Structure 1
Amino acid sequence: MKIKLVLLLGGIVLLWLPKSQANTIDFLSKKNKFISGNRNVASILPNAFQDIQIKGKITDKSGAVPGASVSLKSNPNIGTSTDGGGNYVITAPADGILIIKSIGYKTKEVPVAGKTILNITLDEEDNNLSDVVVVGYSSKKQGELSSSVSVISAEKLKGIASNDIISMIQGKAPGVVVSSGSGDPTAAPSINIRGVSSINGGTAPLLVVDGNILGAYGSEGATYSPADVESITILKDAAATGLYGSRAGSGVIIVTTKTGKAGESKIEFNSTLGFSTPTTGNFKLMDSQQLHDYQKTFSNPKSSVLNTNTNWWDLATRSGMTQNYTLSASGGSEKVKYYIAGNYYREQGTIVNNDKNAYNLRTNLNSQLTKKLKVSLLLNGVFSKDNYQTSNTLGDAYLNLPFDPAYNVDGTPVDPRITPSWLGRDVENFLHSNQYNFSNGRSFNVSADLNLDYSIAKNLTFASYNRTNFFNDFYVDYYDKRTKEGGANNGELYNTTSYKNRLLSSNRLKYENSFGENHLTVLAVGEAEKSYYDVASLNGKNLPAGRPVMSTATDIISNPSGGTNEYNFSKYLSQIDYNYAGKYFAIASFVHENSSRFGINKSGGDFYQLGASWILSNENFLKSVKPISFLKLRASYGTTGNAEIGDYPSLGLYAIDVSASYAGVPGASPSQKGNPDLTWEKQKTANIGFDMGFWNRIDLTIDLYDKRSNALLFQVPLPSTEGYSYVFQNVGALKNRGLEFNLTTKNFTGAFKWETNLNMAFNRNTILKLNEGKDAITPGGSQPRAVGHDIFDWKMPVWAGVDPNNGDPLWEKVITDADGTNHIAVTNTYAQATRQYTGTSASPKFTGGITNTLSYKGISLSAFFNFVYGNDVYNNSRAYFDNDGLYESYNAMVLKSGWTRWEKIGDVATHPKPVLGGNHDSNQQSTRYLEDGSYIRLRNITLGYQIPTNWLSKIKISSVRIFVSGDNLWTGTKFSGLDPEVDLGSGISSFKYPLSKKVLFGLNIGL
C-alpha cells in the first residue's frame, strides 16, 4: 500500500515537472529499478539526488575547447573552466543541469542525469568570436582578447592580384595604411600602423611568420607566397604587441601559413590569368597639334613640326599579362599532417621591358611523434627574377616632344644623337637604348623552421622554435657603348651582390591550468637572434658592344666597394594571462632585450605591457537585453621599442679617404662619432576599445589610442671642429592619437546572403620635442618636421593666383608692422614670397575601406573600395610639363577640366601667361603644385560561381570555382596627375609609374 502511494505521488510530480527534470526522474526510476517490490523506495530517493563528481571534455568540430565555463544552472556560483585540453571536473547534483559557455559558441544546457562522465560538443555561433587568433607566442579566441587586433583571413585576401601580401591588405584593416608611389610590379609598397612612430628610425612594422620573427617589413625581400597564407593578424596596441615589445614600436604583422588537416588528402589547383593596362586618371599629354597651338602663344614653332605626331606615352606603355598558378596537396592523419605547395607568379609591368617573375615552393610538415612530443618542419624557398625599366623610359614618355620621330624610315629606332632635326631637350629615345641596355636582378631566399612542442606534465609544456634563413641576390645594370647612357665611358657595367644569413632560436615554457572558474596561463621565453650580411659592388667600363660581362671591361669607373655587417638580439620575457568565469580577462608581460646596435652602456631595454577586458554581455544584468549579443570593454597600456636604425649607430666609424693615402696604402678619416649611451627608442601606448554585437548580425569595434614616442634616434650633425660629421643620440619626442572603427553587418542571412564591412581610421601626428631645443629638423625644407606640427606638414610659398592685369604669377608676401601685426600682400617676385605653413599635410585625415559581399546558390559577388581623405600631394613633375613656357623643348600637359590660361587683360585664370624662358619663376616650388590627394578607388570586384558538387561527382572532382575579377577599375579624385596614391612618407608625386588596371579570369579546382 505504501509503494502504491509513492508511485501515485511520483506520477503527479512527473506531470508537474518540466520535461528535462521529468526525464531525469524517469531515468533514475529505470536505473534504480524504481518499481521493485523487494526494495525500500524511501531509502532510494535520497541517494538519487546526492552530489556526484562529473568529469568530461568540451570540444567543437575541430577539437578541444579550453577555457570554457561549466556551471550549475540552479547555482551559478558553482562552476569551473576547462583546461588546455578541454577537460573539466565539477561536483553537482545527480539531477542537476550544467550550463556550458564559451565565447563564440552557443550556450548549451546539459542534464547530468546521474552520469559521472559527460563529453559535450559545442556549436559555433555565426560570428568570428570563436576564431583562433595567433597573438604573440600563443593563440587565443578572438572574443577573449584584451588588445587591439585585426584579423584578415585568406578568404578576405582573395581577388587582389599581387605577389606582395602587404598590397593585398590595403584598406582591409583600420589604422593600417598601405601606400605605393609606383605601379611597378617589382616595387614594394610602404606600410604604417597607427601613424609614423619615428622620425629618423625605421617605421615599418615587425614581420612574424609562423611564430618566428622575420624582421622589419621589407628587410628580407620576398619570403613567402601569398597563396600559402592562411591568415594575417595585425597587432596594434601595447597589450597585443607585448611579447615583441622591444621591436614592436611600429606594430606587428603575423603571417600564418597553411597546414594540413587530418582526413582525406586534398589536391588543389588555382590559376589566374589576366591583362593589365596603364591608368592615366585626369592626366593627358599634348599631341603635335595641341603643342604647336600652345607654343604659338609664346614662340614661333615651325609648321613642319606637325608632320610628325609621336605618342611617346603609348610607345613606353603596353598591355601586360598577369599569371598566377598554385598547385597544393594537403592532408594527413591524427599523427602526421602535411601541406606542400608550388606557386608561379609572373606580372608584366605596363612600362616596356619591366616584369616580375617569382617561383615559390613550400612544405609544412607536422608530426605527433609521441603523446608528449610534436615536431614541425617548415621549408620555404622563393626564387625571383625581375627586369627593371631602363634608359629613362618613363621620363621620356612624359617629356619627349611629339614633334620628334621614334623610328627611321627603315623602321629602326632613331638615335637622337645623330639626328640633326631632333628638338627634344634631353636628346633621348628609349626605344633605341632599350635594344641594348638592361637592368635586372635575381634573388634566392630559403628558410627552414624546426619547431618542437613537448608536454612535460599535464599543465606544463616546453616549445623550441628555430629558424635559419639564407638570402642571396645579384643585380646587373648594363649600358651599351652604342647608347647615350653608355657612350661616355665606351660601355658601362655595374654588378652588386649580397648575402645574408639569419639564425633564430626561441625557447618557451608555458604553464596553463584552471582552478574552478579561474584560468591561468604563464609564459616564459628566452630568445636569441644573429645575422650576418655581406655586400660587394664593382663596375667596369670600355666593354665591347653586347658583352655585359665584367671580364670584358678594361677599366673601372670607381674603386670596388663592399662591407660586412653583423648584429644580434637576445631577449627574455614573461607573461601572465588570467581570466575568470569567461567574463574578466587580464594580461601582463615584461620584456628585457639586448641588441648589439646600441651602446655598450645601454644595450639593454626593458618594456612592459598591461591589458584587461570585461565581457559585460556575460553578466546577468545584460543577459535579458536581447538586442545585445556581445559587449566587451578593453583597456591596455604599455611600452614598446624600435631598433631599426642600422647596425652600427653607437660605434665610432671611419671612412676610406683616397686623399689620405700614403705610399699606396689607403687612409681613413673619421665619419661617425661613437655614443656608448645610445639606446632604444620607446613608445608608450594607451588604448581603450569596445567590441559590440547586436542581434548576432551587427559587429562593431571601436578603438581610441594615444601613442607617444620618446628617446627618438637622431643623426645629429656636428661642427667641423669636432672632427666628425655626426653622432647618433636619443633626443626628441612625438605623439600619435587616433580613433579606429570596424563595422560588419549581415544584411541578409538566408539563401541570399549580403554582408557589408566598413573600416575607418583617424590619426593625428604631432612632434613634441627635438634635439637641443631646435624648432625644426630642416627649417628650409618643404616639410620642416617642426615642433607642434605633423611630421609631414607642408611649408612653402603660398600661390596667390594670376594677376588679371598682365598674367604674372603671384605669391603671398607676409609684411610685419612695427607693432608686430602681420599683413598679407602679393608679389610677382618669387624671391620675395614668404614661406608659410599651408595648413595641410601629406598625412591623411582618415583612411579606410568598404566591402560588400553577396552570394546566392553558388554565385558570389564582392566589391571592395578603399579610400584616403584629407592629404595634400605635391605634384612635383608639373614643374616640367606645366611650366608656362620655361621648357619649350619638353612636352606639356593638357589642362585639367576647369583650368584656364591667361590670355588678355581681365582674365581670371588658374595659369599665368606663358612666356618663352618662363614667367617670373612660376614653376618654382609653391602651393601651386600642391593638390588634394583624396581618392576613393574600386580596388577589386569579383564575380564567381561555385559549380554544384553533384555535377562533379561523376568526374571525381570535389569542387570547381570559376571567377572573373577586376583591380583598380575606377578611381574618383580631383588630382591632376596619373594617380593620387603616393608613398605617404613623402607625399610627393614625380613622373609616376602608372597604376595597372587589371581584368583577370580564374579557375579553382579541388580534388
Structure 2
Amino acid sequence: MKTILPNKAKHYCKVGKVLLLATAIQLTTNTQSMAFKRSAFISELRNNSQFVTIKGKITDKNGQPIIGASVMIKGSQIGSLSDANGDYSINAERTSILVFSYIGFTPKEITVGGQTTINVELEESSTSLGEVVVVGYSTKKQSEISSSISVVTGDKLRDVTSNEVSSLLQGRAPGVVVSTASGSPTSGSSIIVRGTGSINASTAPLIVVDGNIGGNYNPTDVETITILKDAAATGLYGSRAANGVIIITTKTGKSGKSVVSYNTTMGFTEASTGNFSLMNSQELYDYQSKFYSGLTPERLNNNTDWWDLGFRKGMVNTHTLSASGGSEKSTFYLSGNYYKEEGTLIHNDKTGYNLRGNFTQKLSDKFKISSFLNGIFINDVYNAGGTLYDSYVNMPFDPAYNPDGTPIDARYGTWYGRDRDNFLHTLQYNTSRAKSFNVSADINLDYNVLKNLTLSSYNRGNLVNYRSDSFNDKRTKSGATNNGTAYASNSYNNTFLTSNRLRYSNNFGKHSLAVLAVGEIEQGYSESLSANVKNLPAGRDAFSTATDIVTNPSGGNDTYQFSKYLGQVDYSFNEKYYAVASYVSEYSSRFGSNKPNGNFYQLGASWIASNEDFLKNNKAITFLKLRSSYGTTGNAYGIGYYAALGLYSISSGASYAGLPGAAPSQKANPDLTWEKSKSANIGVDITLFKRIDLSVDAYHKEAASLLFFRPLPATTGYSGVYENVGNVRNRGIEFNLTTKNFVKDFKWETNLNMAFNRNKVLEVNQGRTEVSTGARQPIAVGHDMDEWFMPVWSGVDPATGSPLWENRVKDADGKEFLTYTTNYNAASRLYTGKSSAPKFTGGLTNDFTYKNFTLSTFFNFVYGNYVYNDSRFFFDSDGLYESYNQMNLAKGWSRWEKPGDLATHPKPVHGRADNSNATSTRYLENGSYLRLRNVTLGYNLPTAWLNKAKVNKVRIFISGDNLWTLTKFTGTDPEVELGDGVSSIKYPISKKFLFGVNISL
C-alpha cells in the first residue's frame, strides 16, 4: 500500500479543492459542454456493459418471416422466439454466440460483438439430422437415433390433394409401399412397411397420433409423420409393431403474436384410362362378324359410349382456416377444414368436415396440461347403379335414352347386352350412402417431480359412430325381386386408453442417461345392428313403409383389452456413442388363456464417427453415423376379438320348433398367441460437402407363429380354427438420397428414395408345403408369399389358332420335358416365378426456387410386380361373351386369322368351350409403372406488397396430380392393392387439375 505523507496530503487537498471549484464553475457556465460529456460517458458505459439488447428479423430465402424460430444463447437455457412478423428480441453479452434455428432450416450461429441489430436469413436444410422428432414415447434429435426411421414433414404431404394421409405418403419414404385398389374418393389406401409378414392377421402398420396409439386427425393438421421401421425404432410399441409404426404429430401453437391462416384449393378431376379403350359400335360389329352369325345391321343404329356416360369431370374443393399463437405459459392451435371431392364415377362423392383444437397450459414451472380435441364428420355417397361394371361391359349397340330423353329401362324391349341393365335408369331411384362421426379427445399431464424426473399421464377417449344405408326401388332391376328393399346398419365403437409414464434424464459430464417406465391399458368396445326389409312403395325408403323382412335383424357387441408394461434405457457418451435397450410385456384378451402375454425386447447402437478427432475437420465428410439394431416385435391385429375361443353361430339350418338354433363355427385354441417378428438392421447416414445426404439401411426380418384361420373338414363340426403357423422372411435394402444441386439465387434440390425387398416363406404348419392349395397365390414354402401359381400361357398355335399352355411331363427316369397342349385341363399348374410384390419401389422429387417462384415435381414408381388383369375375362374373351363389349387390342397384340399367323390372341369362336379366358399367365401382366404424381408451380407475393396490406404471406399456385403414367399394363390403371395383385373392373385413379391460395395474417 502506498503511504501519503502529511505535507503531501495538504497539497492533494488543495488540488482537490481547485478541481471541485473548476468543475462547479464549468457545470454552471457551460451546460452544452456538460451534456456532450454526459452523453459520451453513457456511451462509454454502454460499451463497457456486459449485456445488450439484440433485436432483428428472421426470414427465409424468399424474405418471408419465419414464425416461432428459436434464438438461443449458446451454452445456456436463455432464449426467445420470433413473432408473427419474424421479429425477435433478446438480452445477451457481447461475447455471446446466438444460435438461430427452426425445423427444416440449417441453424446459424452469430457472435454478438458490437451489434445491436442482427437480421438473419435461414436456409432450408437438406438434412434433418438436427431436427427433433417423436420416437416412441419421447423425442430425440435425428442425429442421436440408433434406428431406421423416415420423417415426412406436413409440407411435403400437401403437394398431392387427398383427404387420406396414407395416399399422401405414396413414394415419400423408402420401404413404405402404398397402394390403392380404387380411385373412388370414398376408398382408402393400404400401407405395407418392409414387406408382407402375415397371412391372416393385419399387415398394416400401427398408427400413433400425438403420443397415443390410435386417434384421428386430418391431413391439413399434420406437422410431421415419422415412420419407425426397425426393432430399435418400434421398441416401445414392440408388442404391436411387427408391421412398423407410423407416428403422426399434429400442429401446436407457438408463443408470440397470433397467426391466422387460410388455405383453399379448387379444381377438377377426370378418370385416367391409361392404355385401355373399348370398342365402338363399328369396331365391335366388325370384330363379331368374324365369328358370330347372329349380327344384324340395325345394331349400328346406336353408338353409345357407356364409359363416357358412366364417368364425368368431378370437382374438388377444400378450405382450411386455422389460428395459432399464445404466450410462454399458454399456447393454442385451432383449425377447421372442409373437403369435397366428386368422384369421376357419377353419383359418387365424399364430403368431410374436420375441427381440431390443441391447447397447452403451463400451470406452474413444474406442471403442464395439454388437451387435443379432434372431430371428423364424413358423408360418403356411393354409386348405387352398378355403373362401374356396366361402363366396361355394356354394348354400344344399346341406346341409353328413350326418344323423349328419359333413360331406357333395359329389362324391356330389344337389348343386346347380357345383363340388360341401364345404370342411368337405376340411378334415378336407388341410393347408397354412409355417414360417420369420429371424435378423439386427449388429456395429457406432465409433472416435474424433481429436476430430472417427470411423471406423465396421457389419456385418450375415441368415439366412432357409423351408419350406412341403401335403397333399391321396386321400379329398378335390383329392387324388383323383393318389390323394393332397404338396408341399414349402425355401429358404435369406443376406445379408452391411459398411458402413465415415468421418465428420468440427466447428463453426467460427457455421459447422458434417460430411463423410461410405462404402464398402459387400452379398453375397446363395439356394438352393431343391421336390418334388411322389403315390399316398400316406390320412392319410399323408410323402414316403416315395409311389410316384410329379407333377413332377420342382426347385431351384437364386442369388447377387448390390452395392457402393457415396458421399460427403456437410453445412454450416450460424448455425443459420439449411443445405445438403447427396451423391454415390453403386453397382455391381450384376443389370445388363448394359456398364452395371452407377449414379451418383446429391442437393442440398438450407433456411432457418430464424424465427431471423432480424425474426421472433425474433414471438409468432404461433414457427418457420418453408423447404426445397428436387433429385436423382437409382435402383431395382434387383423383377427377377431374372440379368435381363441370356441364359437357358435346362429343358423337357420339349426332350428327347432321354429326357434333359432346355434351350430359350432370356430374351434377353441387356448394356446393361440402373438405373432412374433425378429428383425436386424444395419445402417449408415452420411453427409458430404454439406450438400449431399445419404442414408442406407439393410434389414433382415423373420415373422414366426403367424396367425392363420385353418379351415377344418365338415366332419369335425367346425368351419375352422385359428392357429399359429409358419415363418416368413423379408430381406431388403433401402436408401434415401438428398442433394442440393444449386444453392444461390436459383436453388435446385433433389430427393430420391428407393427400397428393394425380397420375401420368402420358410415354413408352414403340420408338415404341409402350402397354406391355400390350388389358389392363385397359395403361400408355399420356398416361394414368395405373393408368387402366382397357375397354368402358363404359351400363346397361339400358328397352324390352328387354338390357345396353347405349357404341359410338363416326366419320363420313366424322372426327367422333365416341356410340351404344349391345347387342353386347358391338361396344362400344368406351376409356380410362375412372378409375384404381385414389386422388386423395388420409390419416389423422386425435384424442388426449384428462383426469387419468388417455386416449382416442384414428384414421381413415384413401382417395378417388378405382376398384376392379374381379371377384367379381361369379360371383355377379352375370344368370342365367349358376345353380349359384352370388348377391349381394343393393345399395341403389339394381334388376332389369329389364317394358318401361319404368329398372333397373341386365338381365333375368336362363338360360345367357345376351350377355356382360353380361364385363369392362366395370359392375363398376368407387368404392373410396373412410373407416375408423375404431382407438379406444382407457385408464386409468393413480394413482401413489400404484403406489408402495406399487413399480410405476412400470400402464395398462389397451380397443381396437377397423376398427370402422366408410363406403363405396359393394358388396363385403365396399373396401381392395385399390391398384396392382392388383382385388377378387376377397376375404378381408375383420377387426374386432378387444381388452383390454390395460401394466406397468412
- Secondary structure (helix, strand or coil) at the match of 1:416 reads coil
User: What is the identity, as a one-letter code, of the residue corresponding to 1:479?
Assistant: N
Alignment of 1:512-523 (within 5 A): 512-523=505-516
Counterpart Cα distance in 2 of 1:870 and 1:766: 16
Distance across 2 between alignment mates of 1:850 and 1:533? 42
Q: 1:673 to 1:637 in 2, by over 3 A?
A: same
- Which of residues 839, 858, 861 is equivalent to 2:852? 858
Contact 2:71 2:98 in 1 (8 A): no
| Contact 2:72 2:99 (C-alpha < 8 Å) held by counterparts | no
Pairwise CA distance, 1:324:
0.7
2:281 to 288, 291, 308: 288
1:617-637 superposed Cα distances (whole Å, 9 cap, x missing partner):
000111243100100000000
Q: Which residue of 2 aligns with 1:344?
A: 338
In structure 2, relative to structure 1, the CA distance for the partners of 1:416 and 1:855 (3 Å cut) is same
Corresponding residue to 1:794 among 784, 788, 791: 788
Retained in 1: the 8 A contact 2:72–2:98? Answer: no
Structure-1 residue corresponding to 2:128: 128
Letter aligned with residue 733 of structure 2: L
Aligned residue type for 1:254: I
Structure 2 counterpart of 1:699, from 677, 693, 696: 693
Alignment partner of 1:968 out of 959, 962, 965: 962
Q: SS where residue 384 of structure 1 aligns?
A: strand
In structure 2, the CA distance between the partners of 1:83 and 1:675, relative to structure 1 (3 Å rule), is farther
- Residue of structure 1 equivalent to 2:25: none
- Cα distance in 2 between the residues matched to 1:729 and 1:926: 32
2:529 equivalent to 1:536 = yes
Match of 2:266 in 1: 273
The structural deviation recorded for 1:920 is: 1.8
Alignment of 1:853-1002 (within 5 A): 853-918=847-912, 920-1002=914-996
Q: CA deviation at 1:106?
A: 6.8
Amino acid at match of 2:517: A
SS in 1 for 2:551: coil
Distance 1:704 1:515 in 2: 34
1:630 has 2:623 as partner = yes
- In structure 1, what is the equivalent of residue 709 of structure 2? 715
Residue 139 of structure 2 corresponds to 139
Instruction: Give the partner amino acid of 1:843.
Output: A
Partner of 1:452: 445
**Partner secondary structure for residue 515 of structure 2:** strand
**Equivalent residues in 2 for 1:113-124 (5 A)?**
none
Task: Indicate which of 290, 299, 317 corresponds to 1:305.
Answer: 299
Letter paired with 1:776 = E
SS in structure 2 at match of 1:156? helix
Q: C-alpha displacement at 1:275, in angstroms?
A: 0.5
CA offset at residue 199 of structure 1? 1.0
Local SS of the residue matching 2:552: coil
Q: In the alignment, which residue of structure 2 is the partner of 1:47?
A: none
How far residue 403 of structure 1 moved from its aligned partner, in angstroms, is: 0.2
Q: CA deviation at 1:389?
A: 1.5
Q: 1:128: how far off?
A: 1.4
Aligned pair count reads 919
Q: Residue 70 of structure 2 corresponds to which residue in structure 1?
A: 62
Distance 1:931 1:455 in 2: 60
User: 1:668: how far off?
Assistant: 1.1
Q: After the TM superposition, which of the residue ranges 730-739 and 715-724 deviates more from structure 2?
A: 715-724
> Over the residues paired in the alignment, what is the CA RMSD in angstroms?
2.7
- Whether contact under 8 Å (1:913, 1:919) holds in the other structure is no
| Cα distance change of structure 1 residues 400 and 448 upon mapping to structure 2, 3 Å threshold | same
Q: For residues 683-722 of structure 1, what are the alpha-carbon distances to aligned partners after superposition, in whole Å with 9 as ceiling and x for unaligned?
A: 0010000000000000000000001001111112233443
Q: Distance in 2 between matches of 1:800 and 1:111?
A: 78
Q: CA deviation at 1:64?
A: 7.1
The offset of 1:771, in angstroms, is 1.1
Structure 1 residue runs without a partner (length 5+) = 1-26, 32-59, 71-81, 87-95, 113-120, 216-222
Alignment of 1:774-793 (within 5 A): 774-793=768-787
Deviations 1:392-444, CA, capped at 9 Å, x for gaps? 1111000001000000000000001112x111100100000000001100000
TM-score (norm 2): 0.89
Moved more, 937-946 or 642-651: 642-651
The AA in structure 1 aligned to 2:613 is: N
Q: CA deviation at 1:657?
A: 2.4
State the distance in 2 between where 1:101 and 1:369 align. Answer: 28
Secondary structure at 2:945 match in 1: helix
Match of 1:204 in 2: 204
Gaps of 5+ in 2: 1-44, 50-67, 81-94, 114-119
Partner-residue secondary structure (3-state), 2:912:
coil
* 2: CA distance, partners of 1:212 / 1:969: 37
Shift of 1:659: 2.9
The residue type paired with residue 472 of structure 2 is Y
Q: Deviations over 1:556-599 (max 9, x none)?
A: 11111111110010011110111111110000000010010111
Question: Closer, same or farther in 2 for the Cα pair 1:111/1:228, shift >3 Å?
Answer: closer
1:89-141, Cα deviation, whole Å (9 max, x unpaired): xxxxxxx99999999977979999xxxxxxxx999994311111110011111
Q: Find the partner of 1:389 among 362, 373, 383.
A: 383
Q: Distance between the aligned counterparts of 1:918 and 1:721, measured in 2?
A: 39
Q: In the superposition, relative to structure 1, how do residues 801 and 610 fare at CA in structure 2: closer, same or farther (>3 Å)?
A: same
> 2:158 touches 2:220 (CA, 8 Å); kept in 1?
no
Report the Cα offset of residue 377 of structure 1.
1.0
- 1:62 maps to a residue whose letter is S
Residue equivalent to 1:580: 573
1:766 counterpart (760, 763, 771): 760
1:328-357 deviation digits (Å, cap 9, x = unpaired): 111111111011010000000000000000
Give 1:481-496 correspondences, 5 Å limit: 481-496=474-489
Separation in 1, partners of 2:971, 2:867: 10
- Alignment correspondent of 1:562: 555
Aligned partners of 2:225, 2:554: CA distance in 1, in Å?
39
Q: Can you list the C-alpha shifts for 1:242-296, whole angstroms capped at 9, x where unaligned?
A: 0100000100001100111110111100000000111100000000000000001
Q: Cα deviations across residues 501-548 of structure 1 (Å, max 9, x unaligned)?
A: 110000111001000010111000110000100011110000001111
How many Å apart are 1:661 and its aligned residue?
Answer: 2.4
Q: Letter of the aligned partner of 1:929 in structure 2?
A: Y
CA displacement 1:892-928 (0-9 Å, x = unmatched): 0000111100011111001000011126211111111
Distance 2:978 2:843 in 1: 17
Residue of structure 1 aligned with 2:421, choices 428, 439, 442 = 428
Q: How does 1:314-353 map to 2 (within 5 A)?
A: 314-353=308-347
One-letter amino acid of the structure 1 residue matched with residue 938 of structure 2 = G
1:355-754 pair list within 5 angstroms: 355-419=349-413, 421-644=414-637, 645-754=639-748
Does the 8 A contact of 2:728 with 2:762 survive in 1?
yes
Mean Cα deviation higher: 97-106 or 315-324? 97-106
In 1, distance between residues paired with 2:693 and 2:680? 23
Q: Which runs of 4+ in 1 moved over 6 A?
A: 82-86, 96-112, 121-125
Deviations 1:134-174 (A, max 9, x none): 10011111111101000000111121010001100100000
* CA distance in structure 1 between the partners assigned to 2:566 and 2:112 by the alignment: 44
Structure 2 residue aligned with 1:117: none
Distance 2:692 2:450 in 1: 42
2:742 match: secondary structure: strand
Alignment deviations for residues 342-397 of structure 1 (CA, whole Å, 9 cap, x no partner): 00000000000000000000001111111111111111100000001222111100
**d(CA) in 2 for partners of 1:342, 1:971:** 34
Alignment identity in percent? 60
Aligned partner of residue 214 in structure 2, secondary structure: strand
CA separation in 1, counterparts of 2:569 and 2:789?
48
Alpha-carbon distance in structure 2 between the residues aligned to 1:184 and 1:623: 53
* Aligned amino acid, residue 580 of structure 2: I
User: What whole-Å deviation, never above 9, does each CA across 1:962-996 have from its counterpart, x for those lacking one?
Assistant: 00000000000000000100000110001000211
Residues 906-952 of structure 1: CA distance to partner in whole angstroms, max 9, x if unpaired? 11001000011126211111111000000000000000000011101
Residues 506, 526 of structure 1: 8 Å contact kept: yes
Amino acid at match of 1:548: D
Cα pair 2:70 2:79 within 8 Å, conserved: no
